[in-house]
């Protein structure tokens, strides 16, 4: 649930442009009627634009179509008058109304127009407000970097203005970004910072949204008992909230909690409440979520036919809204329902759709990452050009100074000569510094270009090849199933499984590398028992070792401890262990050991497989070289895993190396600090 309060965005922080006192004292309809009467009396067209905007804001709480209508009237008249402040406000209100109709493209376009106009007027309050709106809308997309950048821009303005209400919203937004990145601790930290501000202000609407966000976060991480406090408080706050939009969201949140707790009757009650609000007030994106929640409840009640129908309605709704992030989970549950009814063909189709959209969403995330990567390269090129230009200008300036100094040497004497020498030395050092900056920029560009080339190579060939095999064999079985005997079909299915496992392992490494390059991997070193980390890291690959009849010998002492980041070290051990299996022969052996060297622990993962020559060893850990070779059972490899290993070992303060001989095996050593 990534809903931020629409009213926090649309109502709370535009008090400068709206007479909020009179609105608070009257009902919305009374305010609207009063404002319409004023229209007939106004002779100044700029004042008429302002009044259109006030009507649009008031309608935002009760009738979105009318809010859009009056915002559009304000835009047309303000543009004709070249009344830029009124035009900016009209675009801002139109964007907010578009959010509630789920027209996110129109919302983004109007927010950007408003932002440019507010910046021209140097209107800090409304610039802050517009950045908040953009951060909310972009949270529906795949680029979390863009969402985070909008929030950080807004945060700068909020801190300078000491706007605690905005700080609450921004902390909430940043928590939502971390939630989408599956970073529980950081998400909880920012949600709690937002809630602390809301508690001090004691506004029921804001408090309810804050408690709901924390509750959903805990439910998604299976912390159901911990979430009970938030939801008990939420139940007490709902009667105090006027907004039907917010109530529909909160009842959906409560339905999620009670479904996880198996309180099915209570879950049904909250689903019905949310559904009633959505139907009466036309909230399509929340209704799609409610349909999905109702289908999940029916699935749990074993009413499979009705659950399948509702899952489909939810899919259709999300499709109309242009939101596909929920597709994989819906298709997965739909496949389960079909399977329970014995409709295995339809279950298979739903599972294929699930995988198709998982692949599609992953490609979208990779494309988003590459767009940001290319933008960063473009910025680096601009900075390099500016540095070169500055150097040329400086050289011209140096030449001019030298000519002028030669002209004045005879008149100024020895003292002036000393000054000239000092000036020459100063500019010489400055020029050297800029030359050094250019060299460093060139080295960084080479590294980034090598990273980009490696990335494109993996996407265009290594990631495409296994999917070609999977699609080819799947299509052959689908079309010509009866043309093959049972043994042939099993062989083809086995190839599909092996290729899928290879593709999944590659995609895991690829996304881990992308997260690392983007700076989204949290580095939190702590004291860890090495033997338990080793056991957790290799457990997923023991089946593959068993298939080759490889003996695993773990000689790590239970009393060995390291001081390192758990997640990155597990990735290192998993990759090295997987490689040891991949390049080992059947009936081979893998030994895992450790020994203390001064204040570091050296860990060794050794095999007696095919080994490697000196040329391959020298190129193993560098992104710019292409080291790929199949395993002893023709397993695929890209070399990306070892690049990750080197990067993560170095980040943990250690070093990694390899010793290997052809047909004798390989031993990978890496060190980690113990304190």
For 584-620, what is the HEC assignment? CCCCCEEEEEEEEECCEEEEEEEECCCCCCHHHHHHC
Number of neighbouring beta carbons within 10 Å of residue 266: 15
Q: Are 254 and 221 in contact (CB under 8 A)?
A: no
In Å, what is the CA distance from 440 to each residue of 225, 435, 443? 53, 9, 5
Model confidence over 297-347: pLDDT tens digits?
999 999 999 999 999 998 888 888 877 778 888 988 988 999 889 888 888
d(CA 581, CA 605): 11
User: What pLDDT was estimated at residue 377?
Assistant: 43
d(CA 252, CA 296): 12
Model confidence over 185-238: pLDDT tens digits?
988 999 999 999 999 989 899 999 999 999 999 998 999 889 999 999 999 999
d(CA 672, CA 651): 10
Q: Are 107 and 95 in contact (CB under 8 A)?
A: yes
Mean pLDDT of the chain: 81
Q: Report the Cα 472 to chain-centroid distance in Å.
A: 32
pLDDT at 21 over 60: no
d(CA 475, CA 163): 59
User: What pLDDT was estimated at residue 232?
Assistant: 93
Coil vs helix vs strand at 500? helix
Q: Are 137 and 107 in contact (CB under 8 A)?
A: yes
In Å, what is the CA distance from 83 to each residue of 34, 47, 470? 24, 10, 60
User: What pLDDT was estimated at residue 22?
Assistant: 34
Residues of the chain with pLDDT > 90: what percent?
35
Looking at 72-86, 164-178, 318-332, 377-391, which range is the least confident one? 377-391
Number of neighbouring beta carbons within 10 Å of residue 440: 10
635 or 541, which is more confident: 541
pLDDT at 13 over 60: no
Provide the 8-state DSSP code for 238: G
Structure tokens belonging to residue 339: 């399977």
pLDDT at 370 over 60: no
At 622, the pLDDT band (50, 70, 90 cuts) reads: confident
Q: Are 77 and 44 in contact (CB under 8 A)?
A: no
Looking at 30-34, 131-135, 447-451, 525-529, which range is the least confident one? 447-451
Q: Which residues pair with residue 552 across a beta bridge?
A: 590
Provide the 8-state DSSP code for 9: I
User: What pLDDT was estimated at residue 503?
Assistant: 64
d(CA 548, CA 169): 55
Q: What is the mean pLDDT of residues 550-557?
A: 94
Q: What is the mean pLDDT of residues 556-569?
A: 92
| Residue among 461, 443, 441 nearest 453 (CA) | 461
Q: What is the mean pLDDT of residues 36-53?
A: 85
Query: Please, what's the b/e burial string for 646-659 (b: 16 or more CB within 10 A of its CB; e: otherwise)?
Result: bbbbebbebebebe
Structure tokens belonging to residue 544: 């593959």
Task: Give phi and psi for 606, each to the nearest 5.
Answer: -120, 145
Q: What is the mean pLDDT of residues 487-508?
A: 74
pLDDT at 29 over 90: no
Looking at 175-179, 265-269, 369-373, 558-562, which range is the least confident one? 369-373
Q: Which helix (H) or strand (E) holds 561?
A: strand 561-565
d(CA 24, CA 576): 64
User: What pLDDT was estimated at residue 14?
Assistant: 31
In Å, what is the CA distance from 26 to each residue of 20, 21, 31, 493? 10, 9, 6, 69
d(CA 355, CA 453): 27
pLDDT at 288 over 70: yes
User: What pLDDT was estimated at residue 533?
Assistant: 93
Q: 275 Cβ partners below 8 Å, 6+ apart?
A: 287, 290, 294
Residues of the chain with pLDDT > 70: what percent?
79
In Å, what is the CA distance from 243 to each residue of 27, 60, 268, 277, 313? 13, 11, 21, 10, 26
Q: What is the mean pLDDT of residues 642-661?
A: 92
Q: What is the mean pLDDT of residues 601-616?
A: 93
User: What pLDDT was estimated at residue 408?
Assistant: 67
Phi/psi-derived region of residue 232, left when phi > 0, alpha when psi is between -120 and 50, beta in every other case: alpha
Q: Report the Cα 9 to chain-centroid distance in Å.
A: 22
d(CA 117, CA 159): 22
Q: Which helix (H) or strand (E) holds 268?
A: helix 264-281
User: What pLDDT was estimated at residue 25?
Assistant: 35
d(CA 391, CA 387): 6
Q: 129 Cβ partners below 8 Å, 6+ apart?
A: 9, 13, 14, 92, 166
Coil vs helix vs strand at 61? coil
Model confidence over 465-474: pLDDT tens digits?
566 667 777 8
User: What pLDDT was estimated at residue 322?
Assistant: 74
Which position has the token pair 């050593």?
669
Model confidence over 233-264: pLDDT tens digits?
999 999 999 888 899 999 999 999 999 999 99
- The model's pTM is 0.45
User: What pLDDT was estimated at residue 8?
Assistant: 37
Model confidence over 84-103: pLDDT tens digits?
999 999 999 999 988 888 78
d(CA 488, CA 398): 79
Q: Are 578 and 597 in contact (CB under 8 A)?
A: no
């Amino acid at each position: 649930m990534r809903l931020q309060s629409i009213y926090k965005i649309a109502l709370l922080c535009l008090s400068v442009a709206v007479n909020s006192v009179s609105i608070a004292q009257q009902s919305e309809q009374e305010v609207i009627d009063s404002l319409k009467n004023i229209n007939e009396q106004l002779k100044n067209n700029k004042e008429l634009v302002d009044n259109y905007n006030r009507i649009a804001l008031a309608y935002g709480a009760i009738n979105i179509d009318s809010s859009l209508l009056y915002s559009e009237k304000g835009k047309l008249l303000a543009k004709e008058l070249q009344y830029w402040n009124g035009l900016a406000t009209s675009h801002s209100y139109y964007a907010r109304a578009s959010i509630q109709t789920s027209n996110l493209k129109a919302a983004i376009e109007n927010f950007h127009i408003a932002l440019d106009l507010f910046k021209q007027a140097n209107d800090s309050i409304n610039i802050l407000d517009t950045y908040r709106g953009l951060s909310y809308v972009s949270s529906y997309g795949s680029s979390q970097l863009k969402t985070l950048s909008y929030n950080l821009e807004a945060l700068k303005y909020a801190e300078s203005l000491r706007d605690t209400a905005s700080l609450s919203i921004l902390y909430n937004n940043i928590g939502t970004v971390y939630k989408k990145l599956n970073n529980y601790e950081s998400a909880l930290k920012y949600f709690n910072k937002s809630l602390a501000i809301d508690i001090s202000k004691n506004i029921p609407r804001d408090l309810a949204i804050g408690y709901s966000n924390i509750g959903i976060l805990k439910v998604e991480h299976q912390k159901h008992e911990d979430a009970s406090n938030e939801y008990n408080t939420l139940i007490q706050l709902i009667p105090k909230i006027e907004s039907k939009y917010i109530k529909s969201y909160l009842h959906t949140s409560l339905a999620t909690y009670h479904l996880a707790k198996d309180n099915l009757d209570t879950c049904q009650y909250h689903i019905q409440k949310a559904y009633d609000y959505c139907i009466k007030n036309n909230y399509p994106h929340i209704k799609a979520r409610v349909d999905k929640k109702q289908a999940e409840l029916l699935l749990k009640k074993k009413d499979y036919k009705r659950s399948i129908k509702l899952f489909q309605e939810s899919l259709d709704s999300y499709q109309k809204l242009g939101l596909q992030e929920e597709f994989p989970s819906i298709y997965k549950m739909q496949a389960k329902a079909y399977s329970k009814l014995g409709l295995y063909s339809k279950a298979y189709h739903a599972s294929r759709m699930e995988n198709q959209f998982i692949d599609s969403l992953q490609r979208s995330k990779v494309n988003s990452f590459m767009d940001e990567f290319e933008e960063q390269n473009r910025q680096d090129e601009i900075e390099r050009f500016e540095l070169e230009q500055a150097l040329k200008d400086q050289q011209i300036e140096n030449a001019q100074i030298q000519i002028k100094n030669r002209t004045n040497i005879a008149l100024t004497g020895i003292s002036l000569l000393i000054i000239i020498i000092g000036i020459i030395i100063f500019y010489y050092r400055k020029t050297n510094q800029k030359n050094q900056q250019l060299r460093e920029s060139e080295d960084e560009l080479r590294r980034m270009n090598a990273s980009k080339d490696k990335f494109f190579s993996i996407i265009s060939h290594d990631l495409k090849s296994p999917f070609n095999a999977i699609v080819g064999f799947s299509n052959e079985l689908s079309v010509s199933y009866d043309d093959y005997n049972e043994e042939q079909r099993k062989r083809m299915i086995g190839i599909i499984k092996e290729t899928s496992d290879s593709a999944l392992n590659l995609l895991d490494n690829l996304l881990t590398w992308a997260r690392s390059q983007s700076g989204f991997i949290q580095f939190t070193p702590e004291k860890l028992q090495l033997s338990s980390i080793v056991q957790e890291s290799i457990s997923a690959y023991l089946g593959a070792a068993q298939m080759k009849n490889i003996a695993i010998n773990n000689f790590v002492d239970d009393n060995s401890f390291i001081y390192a980041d758990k997640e990155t070290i597990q990735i290192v051990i998993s990759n090295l262990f997987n490689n040891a299996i991949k390049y080992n022969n059947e009936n081979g052996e893998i030994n895992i050991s450790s020994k203390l060297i001064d204040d570091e622990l050296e860990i060794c993962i050794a095999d007696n497989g095919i080994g490697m020559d000196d040329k391959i060893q020298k190129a193993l850990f560098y992104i710019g070289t292409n080291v790929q070779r199949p395993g002893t059972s023709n397993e695929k490899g890209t070399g990306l895993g070892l690049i990750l290993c080197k990067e993560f070992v170095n980040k943990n303060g250690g070093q990694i190396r390899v010793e290997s001989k052809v047909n004798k095996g390989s031993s990978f050593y890496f060190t980690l600090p113990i304190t």
